[in-house]
Amino acid sequence: MFRETLRKRGVRVITGLGKHFRHIEKNRNGFLSQADFKEALKVFHLEIPEGDFESLWLILADDRSDKVDYGEFTRAIFGEMNEYRKAFVRKAYMKLDFNKTGRVPMVDIRKCYCAK
Protein backbone atom coordinates (compact mmCIF):
# COMPACT_ATOMS: atom_id res chain seq x y z
CA MET A 1 0.00 0.00 0.00
CA PHE A 2 2.74 2.48 0.97
CA ARG A 3 4.72 1.62 -2.15
CA GLU A 4 1.74 2.38 -4.38
CA THR A 5 1.08 5.66 -2.55
CA LEU A 6 4.67 6.79 -3.16
CA ARG A 7 4.62 5.75 -6.79
CA LYS A 8 1.40 7.69 -7.38
CA ARG A 9 2.91 10.78 -5.79
CA GLY A 10 5.84 10.61 -8.19
CA VAL A 11 9.56 11.05 -8.43
CA ARG A 12 9.47 14.55 -6.93
CA VAL A 13 8.29 13.17 -3.61
CA ILE A 14 11.01 10.52 -3.61
CA THR A 15 13.75 13.01 -4.50
CA GLY A 16 12.29 15.48 -2.01
CA LEU A 17 12.42 12.81 0.68
CA GLY A 18 16.05 12.18 -0.24
CA LYS A 19 16.93 15.84 0.17
CA HIS A 20 15.00 16.01 3.41
CA PHE A 21 16.68 12.85 4.73
CA ARG A 22 20.11 14.27 4.00
CA HIS A 23 19.13 17.55 5.68
CA ILE A 24 17.84 16.04 8.91
CA GLU A 25 20.38 13.27 9.15
CA LYS A 26 22.33 14.17 12.24
CA ASN A 27 25.49 12.03 12.11
CA ARG A 28 26.11 12.15 8.33
CA ASN A 29 26.43 8.37 8.28
CA GLY A 30 23.64 7.71 5.76
CA PHE A 31 21.12 6.44 8.29
CA LEU A 32 18.02 7.88 9.97
CA SER A 33 16.44 7.11 13.30
CA GLN A 34 12.82 6.02 13.56
CA ALA A 35 11.77 9.49 14.80
CA ASP A 36 13.56 11.22 11.90
CA PHE A 37 12.04 8.82 9.39
CA LYS A 38 8.55 9.38 10.79
CA GLU A 39 9.07 13.17 10.73
CA ALA A 40 10.19 13.07 7.08
CA LEU A 41 7.11 11.11 6.06
CA LYS A 42 4.87 13.66 7.80
CA VAL A 43 6.59 16.58 6.07
CA PHE A 44 5.64 15.04 2.73
CA HIS A 45 2.12 14.19 3.90
CA LEU A 46 2.83 10.48 3.80
CA GLU A 47 1.22 9.69 7.11
CA ILE A 48 0.41 6.04 7.57
CA PRO A 49 -1.32 4.20 10.43
CA GLU A 50 0.99 3.29 13.33
CA GLY A 51 0.65 -0.44 12.73
CA ASP A 52 1.57 -0.03 9.07
CA PHE A 53 4.48 2.21 10.03
CA GLU A 54 5.81 -0.44 12.44
CA SER A 55 5.61 -3.06 9.68
CA LEU A 56 7.39 -0.73 7.24
CA TRP A 57 10.04 0.04 9.84
CA LEU A 58 10.72 -3.65 10.47
CA ILE A 59 11.22 -4.19 6.74
CA LEU A 60 13.52 -1.20 6.23
CA ALA A 61 15.48 -0.92 9.48
CA ASP A 62 18.95 -2.33 9.79
CA ASP A 63 18.76 -5.00 12.48
CA ARG A 64 22.12 -4.07 13.95
CA SER A 65 21.57 -0.35 14.36
CA ASP A 66 17.78 0.15 14.27
CA LYS A 67 18.25 2.79 11.59
CA VAL A 68 17.02 3.25 7.99
CA ASP A 69 19.38 3.72 5.05
CA TYR A 70 17.90 5.99 2.34
CA GLY A 71 19.42 3.82 -0.39
CA GLU A 72 17.68 0.75 1.02
CA PHE A 73 14.46 2.73 1.28
CA THR A 74 14.51 3.69 -2.41
CA ARG A 75 15.38 0.13 -3.45
CA ALA A 76 12.45 -1.16 -1.40
CA ILE A 77 10.11 1.31 -3.12
CA PHE A 78 11.39 1.16 -6.70
CA GLY A 79 13.10 -2.21 -6.75
CA GLU A 80 16.34 -2.90 -8.56
CA MET A 81 17.18 -1.23 -11.86
CA ASN A 82 16.19 -3.15 -14.95
CA GLU A 83 18.95 -4.55 -17.19
CA TYR A 84 18.64 -1.73 -19.73
CA ARG A 85 19.25 0.93 -17.08
CA LYS A 86 22.07 -1.08 -15.49
CA ALA A 87 23.80 -1.36 -18.88
CA PHE A 88 23.36 2.37 -19.45
CA VAL A 89 24.87 3.20 -16.03
CA ARG A 90 27.78 0.81 -16.63
CA LYS A 91 28.48 2.45 -20.01
CA ALA A 92 28.44 5.93 -18.46
CA TYR A 93 30.70 4.78 -15.62
CA MET A 94 33.19 3.25 -18.04
CA LYS A 95 33.45 6.59 -19.85
CA LEU A 96 34.03 8.43 -16.57
CA ASP A 97 36.64 5.97 -15.27
CA PHE A 98 39.47 7.27 -17.47
CA ASN A 99 42.21 5.41 -15.58
CA LYS A 100 40.21 2.16 -15.24
CA THR A 101 40.79 2.16 -11.49
CA GLY A 102 37.22 1.38 -10.45
CA ARG A 103 36.95 4.82 -8.84
CA VAL A 104 35.87 8.10 -10.37
CA PRO A 105 37.20 11.25 -8.71
CA MET A 106 35.16 14.43 -8.92
CA VAL A 107 37.82 15.97 -11.17
CA ASP A 108 37.12 13.34 -13.85
CA ILE A 109 33.37 13.86 -13.55
CA ARG A 110 33.84 17.60 -14.06
CA LYS A 111 35.74 16.91 -17.28
CA CYS A 112 32.73 15.09 -18.75
CA TYR A 113 29.69 16.69 -17.15
CA CYS A 114 28.42 20.24 -16.97
CA ALA A 115 25.31 20.79 -14.86
CA LYS A 116 24.56 24.18 -16.44
What are the boundaries of each domain within the chain? 1-78, 83-112
Q: What is the pLDDT of residues 8-67, one digit of tens each?
A: 666 777 778 778 877 776 666 767 788 888 888 888 888 788 888 888 888 887 666 677
Q: Model pTM greater than 0.75?
A: no
Q: Does domain 1-78 have CATH number 1.10.238.10?
A: yes
Element (H, E) at 69: strand 68-69
102: how many CB neighbours lie within 10 A of its CB? Answer: 7
**pLDDT value for 64:** 61
The residue ranking higher by pLDDT, 77 or 98, is: 98
